[in-house]
Amino acid sequence: MTARFSIAEKLDRLFQRVRPAGQGEYSHNAVAEAIKEQQGISISHTYIWQLRTGRRDNPTIQHLTALATFFGVPVAYFLDDEETKKIDGELELLSALRDTGVTEIALRAADLSPSSRETISNMILKVWELENERKRTD
């Protein structure tokens, strides 16, 4: 059976994984202000917090699109669990690149052919999926 991810879980993962370089998570206020400034869409920091914590769970497509745009993901991230899994894998990889040990692997991979890099990327994604599945069943 396929797990269904809530809007709150998806938004929380974006906050955890998409961060300014060398800093912690964006604040709800910073996200609300950036969305207003960059996209002209009004959304309150309180509403973002409510969505993230599951206190509200039925946002408009306009708000989902604004949040997706802010975090640099397609709106399908919020609407399609398969897309969520795919993007989460990519975000996890990017997040891991912040770790020094992983940076070394990435630098070595830069010298590989595109097909070899794709093979390694697929291998890493499969291992990540297995580990996450194991975590869910433990």
- Residue 25 domain-assigned? yes
Cα–Cα distance between 129 and 85 in angstroms, integer? 9
Question: Residue 99: pLDDT band by 50, 70, 90 thresholds?
Answer: low
137 CB-contact burial (10 Å; exposed 0-12 / middle 13-18 / buried 19+): exposed
Q: 61 is in which domain, residue-wise? A: 1-79
Model confidence over 101-121: pLDDT tens digits?
Answer: 677 777 788 888 999 989 988
Token pair 């993962």 is at which residue? Answer: 13
Mean pLDDT, range 74-97, rounded to an integer: 89
Domain of 52: which CATH number? 1.10.260.40
- Residue 27 domain-assigned? yes
- Residue 102 domain-assigned? no
For the question of whether the overall pTM of this predicted structure is more than 0.85, the answer is no
Mean pLDDT of the chain: 89
Provide the number of structural domains found in the chain.
1
